[in-house]
Amino acid sequence: MALDLASPARRRRRLKQRMLRDAVDENLAVMEGVPRARRALRRRRWLGWTGAAAAAVLLAGAIGTFSAAHGRSASPAADVLAPSEPTSAPAASAPAFAAPQAIDPALFRLRVRKVVIDPGHGGSDPGAMTGGVAEKEITLDVARRLASDLSSAGFVATLTRDDDRTLSLQERVAAANAAGGDVFLSIHVNSIPVAVRRGVETYYLGPASDPGTEKLAGAENSGSGYSLADFRRLLAGVYADVRQDESRRFAQAVQGRLFAALRRTNPELEDRGVKKAPFVVLVGTEMPSVLTEVSCISNPEELRLLGEERYRDDIARALAAGVRAYAAARSGDAAARSRAAAR
């Protein structure tokens, strides 16, 4: 019997190569339905050492990818046969599969047809008040004007309340989801402690960006109607799909049209921007949702303007333009986008 005078390291390399070739044979035989013996005979005719080495590299890469995903070594044979063998160079990192990419809903030409409009506050909850004017009255009036404008443009507009009634936030969310709305728009009027400040701002769901926003969210979320046990269910699907990103796009469309329209009449108006906040009505609704503060009732000049029907019409038309712009972007309708931009 001939002695194998090769070094232990060379013997281990040969054994690894033989194991990998056998593994390649097994996989190819299974995939092609060819008996292993026939497969091995055919392989020897054309594969050779160069082909075997290439196949070994491919298999090692596949093993490395699988092992990396499961927290295991990329070379099981090396672990078993040479656990302490030093290496002269660091091993190449195993290839990894890219994470799935989000799909833009615009690719599906999705229609935005049903709009749920939520006039903030109502009934026993007046909202912000200044000089005997209550936020709940302004929001309901603007919401009715907005619904009329959208209906004339071919949308189906639904109000969470169409009179002066008390609704919990949970009831508003339930009404929006039951209506099967494509988008949800909650209308509010801001109140800022510094009376000289005025402006418009629009929120979509996310963590509060500053203490002022956090305080506002806490005030708006009071009397939500939800219990602590509901909290996990409410948050479970928030970041699981594209809803948050779509809400951001919707908020940008609304805020841009609102500021551009109102500054013509109200030149000192501030663009307070698009912000994130954890308002309950944005958490619980199942469609792209925004909450917009259409003016500051605490500012004397804006309070005066809010008392004018023309200014409330301007607010409603601007909100409708934001809805139309977002709807046109989602449908992929270039002509509709042009019409929305022109209005």
Tokens encoding 100: 């799935």
Identify whether the C-beta of residue 54 lies closer than 8 Å to the C-beta of residue 48: no
> Are the C-beta atoms of 285 and 174 separated by less than 8 Å?
no
* Cα separation, 94 vs 332, whole angstroms: 40
Looking at residue 134, its pLDDT comes to 97
Residues in the chain with pLDDT < 50?
Answer: 1, 45-88, 94, 97, 99-100, 238-240, 334-335, 337
Q: Helix 8-32 vs helix 36-46: angle between axes, to the nearest 10 degrees?
A: 120
Distance CA 146, CA 14 (A): 78
Yes or no: say if 296 and 128 are a contact pair by the CB < 8 Å rule: no
Report DSSP state, residue 230. Answer: G
pLDDT attached to residue 259: 98
What is the three-class DSSP state of 202? strand
Cβ atoms of residues 127 and 135 within 8 Å: yes
Which one, of 275, 298, 306, lies nearest residue 201 by Cα?
275
Quick check: helix, strand or coil at residue 289?
A: strand
Give 167's DSSP letter.
-
What are the chain's domains?
9-81 (no CATH), 109-342 (3.40.630.40)
Residue 186 contacts residue 259 (beta carbons within 8 Å)? no
Tens of pLDDT, residues 207-216: 766 666 656 6
Identify which of 323, 337, 332 has the alpha carbon closest to the alpha carbon of residue 117: 323
- pLDDT number for residue 253: 98
Return the C-alpha torsion angle 329, 330, 336, 342, nearest 10: -30
